[in-house]
Amino acid sequence: MRVVIAGGHGKIALRLEKLLSSHGDTAVGIIRKPEQAEELRKRGAEPAVLDLEQASVDEVADVLSGADAAVFSAGAGPGSGVARKETVDRAAAVLFAEASERAGVRRFVQVSAMGAGEEVDADVEAKVGEVFAAYLRAKAAAEEDLRGRDLDWTILRPGRLTDEPGTGLVRLADDVPRADVPRDDVAEVLRLLVADTTTYGRTLELVSGDTPVAEAIERL
C-alpha cells in the first residue's frame, strides 16, 4: 500500500512511517520544513514538503495522487495558540479530506482526540483552558466535516498520549473510559486500520488495554 500521512514529522506519524516501511508498504509523509526530510528517510518514508496551512486543494491532491490511503495525523502541537488550532487541527484536516476526494483516495483515517465528541461550553473551557477548548472544538469540527464526505473514513480518538514503550495491548471501541495510550500502540492501530475494510464510518476510541491490536480490530 501507498499511504500518505499529513503531519509526517509528528510523533505518531514517525512511528507509523517506520511500521509501514518495515511491513513492505510505502509511506509518504507531508512535512512543512525541508530539514525534516532526512528524519523521514531514516524511517523508510518519502518526504513531501508542503505547508497544509498555505497549500491549495490541487497541490495536496497532487501529493495524494496514486495513494491507497490517507492518514491525517497533523496537529498544531504544544505551545500553539487558539489561531493555529483552527488553521491546523480543523482547516488542514478539512483540506486534506477534500484533496483525498479530489485525488480519488477513498480510504481516510483521521486522528482526533478523546473529548472531541463532547460539548465544550463555558464551564468546560474554564476548567481546561481557552487553548485546549479550542483544540477540542477544532477536532470536533474536523470530525463533522469528514462524516459528510464521500470517503471510506474512520476517526480514531486516542486517550492521553505517552512516549512509554508500546505493549501491543489496547482497548478499542466506540466508547471507552479515559486512560493513557502509548504513541507506539496508536501507530500500530493506524497501520492496521488503513488496510481494514470493516471500520468504515466508525468513530473509535483507543486506550491501553489487554487485547492484542489485531484482535481488537477484528472484534469491531
pLDDT tens string 77-114:
777 788 888 999 999 999 999 999 999 999 999 999 99
> Total structural domains in the chain?
1
What's 23's domain CATH number? 3.40.50.720
Greatest Cα pair distance, the chain, in angstroms, is 48
* Domain residue limits at 10: 2-219
**What is the per-residue pLDDT for 166?**
98
Q: What is the pTM of this model?
A: 0.94
Q: Per-residue pLDDT for the chain (220 aa), expressed as one digit of tens each?
A: 999 999 999 999 999 999 999 999 999 999 999 999 999 999 999 999 999 999 999 999 999 999 999 999 998 777 778 888 899 999 999 999 999 999 999 999 999 999 887 777 666 667 667 788 888 889 999 999 999 999 999 999 999 999 999 999 999 999 999 999 999 999 999 999 999 999 999 999 999 999 999 999 999 9
The amino acid that residue 218 corresponds to is E
9 φ, ψ (degrees, to nearest 5): -105, 5
Beta bridge partners of 162: 182
User: Which CA distances in Å does 100 have to 49, 67, 207?
Assistant: 17, 9, 28
* Residue 159 DSSP label: -
Could you list the active site residues?
A: 135
**What residue has cell string 525541508?**
34
Q: Are 156 and 111 in contact (CB under 8 A)?
A: yes
